[in-house]
Structure 1
């Protein structure tokens, strides 16, 4: 076992916190229009307080044309009427704070909506004072604007197609790493940064407790915007080496801290979503002495079931790959920095369907993964519905999907690349972001208690038996297990701060590790399979702290069984 690492100063409050993510349009609808809203969240605050979470993170609720479900923002200081009003937001904030919780907003500042006044001004003329608030370029030399191959670089968009769109009125192209309706801001321009910092300060002054920063490591681009390599089977180049953790990213984040967070950061939480970030980079981003962000969201572990063709080439998870990845991150940030712990969010399919057994052993596999995740060192994140073990949805046709990424992929794959539509649909059913976006199942009554109207996306038909009301009343309650995990983190410094040691790293079905702190050690052992498993004889043992079966059965771990033991 490793030597206890006892910090010299008081640990940050968020080392003992648990964050709950709300995707507002799918959480709870209070006015019957079929879309979740702020009133629905207010009505469910007691559910979240009962769960015991410390922080609520809201996916975007700002004014938006909703081309990417709110991640295309047209006004950072207004609430989209779909979700309510600023007065309702203030009511929500008051309700959150009165229950001892904090509220974090989603900060989306790599890009805006193409309907944001900044972009409208920028696109009005090549001479606009805001022209260089975004990335504008001429057509590639030797090509006419609009011609295939005339894009200034060969970069592909994250949502299929090129990352450049021609603006006919001015004859130039603008950059968008996501949809054409999400043009990228030019952070090289100090006026852009000043405007963003002013907006962030406005929200903090209103009482918000921090930000989860969407793709924040994309904001610094190589100004030359060079071409990227074209992966096999792809139509467009990979520009990510030129914008992931780019040349000035640390300068920008340190400036943001000085201008926005300085003097009040002790009570806040700042989380940087950073696709492609490495451990060495994460150590820099989360080193408290550097004053950038408190923790990062990294994506290495949620790409381990991708095949050679990427996300839409599903191959399944090898548990040893996950153990290797998480062990690297636990060790890499052990002395400097901090981990975010998650397996579900609005961009990932449902955990119990992806890595567990959502039929015969839904309760057992949902609670096993919960225990494994929450007993690692870092701040755990729960995504709405995860606390009751919600599953992927049985999408039948492409018309059932609402996610722009999924729909665009289907048509590009079947039309431009000639792939079999049924095979494309099979992978969409497993990996689509829409699996996380079906409405929360509150009751077994009509529309799962989510709305009195027609939901914006179909509710999973298993709501009649799988819902919050039924789960909380059940003898095998996923919700109650999450309550116990959260309570354990709140009470036990070993869970909050203990050193991490992986055991049986090469075992294909056993996940085992210890956490040690100031003379106390906890052992977590889990059988990540549907078959019985006999534990290795050399594993330590001790009294049970928490498990997902009612009693122990010696060294035999039953299907999807997890045990947290206190070791003498």
Structure 2
């Protein structure tokens, strides 16, 4: 396809590096492991891989507490390994997206270590330091500058004995927020952007980008009803400050110096208004919409999410994207209690790959990986340790990739950093590659169909009305053709009245190539894609 644009028309695949493939025997996945599996990804039909952080880190938040933004953690490899990965990926037509965490650093970062020394050092204002509130004791815990809360629980201010002030952290106290109002900080962060672009990176996923700035007066957030302390505040003053717009414009201008570069933002506490604000020709190329992540296994819920996105995309003049899974939420096979036959998994995979927008896949989603269950003593994730049993953390969706039926699922020759799922003897890449009816082959076939069909890539999305309960059906329409997608979410046969046209089958697991009737009887959990003659 001549005008194929990778971030619009392609498939983006998220890899959690420490869980993908271990080539060194330390129990952690590494960059060389990703390079070793590029042929697998190319065969699946992947156009870009988004790499979760692999930078040097003390691992308080497993890579999202970075101590050096312009290097590779030795456990994951080296800059030479990264360069090899980029070169090998590009040879296969696969782009590289980095997870860029610029709101905060590790408290072990040299910037913070210098900043905490005293109130006069060259980096004294590279972070958000504040003295205790008047008339309240230093270090008492009650003298905090305001009542802002940390996402991970507790106050967002931690007393630093060395400097004799509080520092702000929206997340863990090991993750101090940088001061984006400082021009030197801003330049340093833009230098990070350029560093990886010069090494051949094709794009960025900006982690919680809309919280870079906080209210300079530290005004209190209004209260609201909520379960946790963080949720009992309207986050007006610690997110989405006006200064954010100019930062995105500067980032976009840097990206535009390089051909076909891309930035997608993770909007913290997303709303349609925020997506519209932060996207456009001078800002981000895209922002995540997470409605699919919170939708029940009901066609009406998914349709509402799609229609909401279509409305926002039209208003903001941006391209939609859809995600069913990532490193922060339970996998869809677990969320939706999908059976071993993967029938439900095929339905939602078909929906993801036939809507109008860029699909994001999470590693292992193509083989229907499930979350692992952990005892409390096995939990690694900070929120899980803190809130167990009410919130068991995010470890479940981060287990090692299941490559084959061997010990440790072919992920590592040593004990992996998280346990391999017990089902890996049967549910793995090798087994599914041999089974033409597997979720892997289903996904691969749909990706191939999508790529060769301009209407599935960019055609208008038109939902069909008055569908039987449990059925989601829609047209994808272009000047060239009309395509009908019908998805039966239910356990029952459903009768679908077809629009008055002659139809041929583009995709089906169990039907012939023609539809001769005006109605179609859908099998339970059936996926069928038709093309109007």
3-state SS of paired residue (2:50): strand
Query: Following superposition of structure 1 onto structure 2, how do residues 6-405 of structure 1 map, counting pairs within 5 Å?
Result: 12-228=5-221, 229=223, 231-236=225-230, 237-238=232-233, 240-258=235-253, 260-264=254-258, 266-288=259-281, 291-304=282-295, 318-334=298-314, 336-355=317-336, 357-362=337-342, 364-395=343-374, 397-405=375-383
2: CA distance, partners of 1:195 / 1:52: 36
Distance 1:246 1:200, change over 3 A: same
2: CA distance, partners of 1:478 / 1:16: 22
3-state SS of paired residue (1:126): coil
Distance 1:456 1:13, change over 3 A: closer
3-state SS of paired residue (1:329): helix
Give TM-score scaled by structure 2 length: 0.93
Count of aligned pairs: 525
Distance 1:434 1:536, change over 3 A: farther
Alpha-carbon shift at residue 340 of structure 1 (Å): 1.9
Query: Following superposition of structure 1 onto structure 2, how do residues 459-538 of structure 1 map, counting pairs within 5 Å?
Result: 459-504=420-465, 509-535=470-496
2: CA distance, partners of 1:499 / 1:202: 39
Q: List gaps (5 residues or longer) in structure 2.
A: none
Deviates more, 1:142-151 or 1:479-488: 142-151
Deviates more, 1:184-193 or 1:124-133: 124-133
Alpha-carbon shift at residue 317 of structure 1 (Å): 5.0
2: CA distance, partners of 1:136 / 1:78: 27
Any conservation in 2 of the 1:324–1:505 contact (CA below 8 Å)? no
Alpha-carbon shift at residue 528 of structure 1 (Å): 1.6
Give TM-score scaled by structure 1 length: 0.87
Distance 1:550 1:146, change over 3 A: farther
Any conservation in 2 of the 1:67–1:181 contact (CA below 8 Å)? yes
Any conservation in 1 of the 2:219–2:237 contact (CA below 8 Å)? yes
RMSD: 2.3
Alpha-carbon shift at residue 247 of structure 1 (Å): 1.3
Distance 1:241 1:303, change over 3 A: farther
Q: Which residue of structure 2 aligns with residue 310 of structure 1? A: none
3-state SS of paired residue (1:76): coil
1: CA distance, partners of 2:78 / 2:488: 47
* Higher RCO (C-alpha 8 Å, min separation 6): 1
3-state SS of paired residue (2:69): strand
3-state SS of paired residue (1:62): coil
Deviates more, 1:401-410 or 1:541-550: 541-550
Any conservation in 1 of the 2:208–2:265 contact (CA below 8 Å)? yes
Distance 1:46 1:206, change over 3 A: same
Instruction: Please give the per-residue CA displacement for 1:403-457, whole angstroms capped at 9, x wherever unaligned.
Output: 21222222xxxxxxxxxx5xx3xx63xxx42222000000011110000000111
Any conservation in 2 of the 1:346–1:437 contact (CA below 8 Å)? yes
Instruction: Please give the per-residue CA displacement for 1:58-103, whole angstroms capped at 9, x wherever unaligned.
Output: 1101111111110111001110011011111111111111111111
1: CA distance, partners of 2:3 / 2:420: 45
Any conservation in 1 of the 2:215–2:241 contact (CA below 8 Å)? yes
Q: List gaps (5 residues or longer) in structure 1.
A: 1-8, 305-315, 411-420
2: CA distance, partners of 1:351 / 1:404: 22
2: CA distance, partners of 1:503 / 1:144: 64
Distance 1:239 1:145, change over 3 A: farther
2: CA distance, partners of 1:400 / 1:532: 43
1: CA distance, partners of 2:426 / 2:300: 34
2: CA distance, partners of 1:508 / 1:171: 63
User: Could you tell me which of 440, 444, 449 is aligned with 2:410?
Assistant: 449
2: CA distance, partners of 1:470 / 1:11: 32
1: CA distance, partners of 2:482 / 2:276: 26
Distance 1:540 1:435, change over 3 A: farther
